[in-house]
Homo-oligomer: A and B are copies of this chain.
C-alpha cells in the first residue's frame, strides 16, 4: 500500500495534505485530502471525520470552502475527504454531471460498464479507512458527514454499519434517492432496473428499520433549489419518527445548497461529532 504525497499546507497549526494512491477495490488511482489537527503532530492518535462531497466535487471543495479546519484544530479531529468517484481515462463516464465521474453515489455498481470501477461504498467503508489508519496518527474512532450526494452516502454508510461509526451528519442530503430524479437515474445505471436492490442505498428506507442507531444530525436550507424535487428531507423525518431514530433535522430559513450554507453550520457539526468521537 503505497501512497504519494501531492501537497502539504499548514493550516490553523495543523496540516492539509493531498495524496494519491492506487485503490484495489476501485481499480484506479485515487486522490484524497486529509486535515491533520495540531494534536496529531504531538504523538496523539486523533479520531477521524470522513467527509463525503456532492456531485461534481473532488477532494478539494470541502477543504477549500467549508472553513472547517479552525474548529477541527480546536477539537483535535482529523478530516478525510475522498474523491466522489473513480477517475481516469479508462473509467466509464457519462456526459451528465450527475452520472459517472464525479457522481459515484457511494454505491457498489453491479451493472456494466459501471461495475468495473464504481465501488465507492466499499472504498469508503473499508479500503480508505484501513489505509488512513495504517499511515496517519489516527485512531479507529470514525464519524461520517457529507453534502447532498455525499449526505446520502454518509447516512447510508452509517445506517448500514453502525458498528463502524460513532455519529453521522449531513447537509442537504439526497434523503430518499429511490424517489427522486438524481437517485433514480444513478441507481438505474449503477444497480439496474430491479428497484428492490436500490432499497439498501436509501437513507429513508434504511432509517425505518434501523436496529442500532448512530446519532444523526441533518441541516437543510429552506432556499435550496433542490429541496422539493431531489432532497426530500420530509421522508427522512417521517422514517425517524416511525422508528424512533435519534435524528435531529433542522431547517434554516434563507440558506441555499452552497458551501456558504455548509460553512455557516460546520462548526456545530464538528462539535456534534467530537462529542461522540471523544465519548
Query: Which residue of the partner chain B has the closest CB to A253?
Result: B10
Copies of the chain in the assembly: 2
Which positions 223-238 of chain A face chain B at CB distance < 8 Å?
223
Q: How far is the CB of A187 from chain B (nearest CB, A)?
A: 30
- Asked whether A212 is an interface residue with its Cβ less than 8 Å from the other chain, the reply is no
Query: When each residue 48-76 of chain A gets 1 if its CB lies under 8 Å from chain B and 0 otherwise, what string results?
Result: 00000000000000001101011000000
Q: Is A260 an interface residue (CB 8 A)?
A: yes
**Which B residues touch A258, using CB under 8 A?**
9
- The A interface is mostly helix, strand or loop, or mixed, namely mixed
| Count, chain A residues at interface, CB 8 A | 23
Once the chains bind, are B64 and A11 in contact (CB under 8 Å)? no
A interface, CB within 8 angstroms of B: 9-13, 16, 64-65, 67, 69-70, 221, 223, 254-256, 258-261, 263-264, 267
4 shortest A-B CB distances, which residue pairs?
Answer: A67-B67, A11-B260, A10-B254, A9-B260
Known: A9-B258, A64-B64, A70-B263. 12 other contacts (CB 8 A): A9-B260, A10-B255, A10-B264, A11-B260, A11-B263, A12-B264, A64-B65, A64-B259, A65-B65, A67-B67, A67-B263, A69-B263
